[in-house]
């Protein structure tokens, strides 16, 4: 690829919400892919469970700011209203069934869900879960409700992957390819 064939740079203020799934361990791969084209600022909000899978200080190597909501000293600055207001796009990667359920029901059981509900900018969910969970009627209803409420839910691609929960290779939904994540972010910010 020549430099004239390379995708153009784009920017903005991006909030990446990371909910608690083992797939959050791949978050640095997505942020690295994003950094090859994205010149804007990245804030990563990690739920408590996400931070048990991946240390926030590691994520801090790839983002300008990492928020966990753990310290009451940060609450005046890092609250749902300020996080929603300070960004041009909110993505949730990985999105768990729990996060979809909370948003579909209009609940705010954690700071990330409250931020999503407060956001007036586009919000894009990237679900990551096993095939049996993704196919459950309740999850499908929640996805449809989230979409009906104006949010974007990116259907996971299907293929063969190693499932850390089962310790084996499975067929089913996979995390999005990093280029798909980058292009989805670009489609909302490169206007």
The CA angle 140-167-110, to the nearest 5 degrees, is: 45
Pull the structure tokens for residue 1.
């690829």
In 3D space, the residue among 121, 19, 125, 13 whose CA is nearest the CA of residue 64 turns out to be: 13
Q: 57, 80, 87, 188: which is the annotated catalytic residue?
A: 80
Helix axes 111-118, 97-104, angle to 10 degrees: 50
First to last CA, the chain: 24
Two structure tokens written together for 169: 């290779």
- Whether residue 188 lies in the annotated active site: no
Give the residue numbers annotated as catalytic, written as ranges: 80
């Amino acid at each position: 690829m020549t430099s004239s064939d390379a995708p153009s740079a784009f920017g903005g203020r991006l909030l990446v919400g990371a909910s608690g799934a083992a797939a959050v361990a791949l978050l640095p791969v997505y942020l690295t892919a994003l950094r090859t084209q994205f010149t804007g600022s990245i804030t990563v909000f990690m739920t408590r469970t996400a931070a048990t899978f991946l240390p926030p200080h590691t994520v801090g190597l790839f983002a300008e700011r990492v928020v966990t909501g753990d310290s009451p000293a940060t609450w005046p600055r890092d609250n749902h209203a300020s996080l929603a207001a300070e960004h041009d796009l909110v993505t949730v990667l990985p999105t768990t069934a729990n996060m979809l359920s909370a948003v579909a029901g209009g609940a705010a059981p954690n700071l990330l869900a409250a931020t999503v509900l407060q956001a007036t900018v586009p919000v894009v969910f990237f679900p990551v879960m096993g095939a049996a969970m993704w196919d459950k009627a309740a999850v499908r209803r929640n996805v449809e409700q989230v979409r009906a409420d104006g949010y974007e839910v990116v259907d996971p691609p299907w293929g063969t992957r190693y499932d850390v929960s089962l310790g084996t290779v499975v067929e089913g939904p996979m995390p999005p390819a990093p280029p798909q994540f980058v292009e989805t972010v670009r489609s909302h910010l490169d206007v």
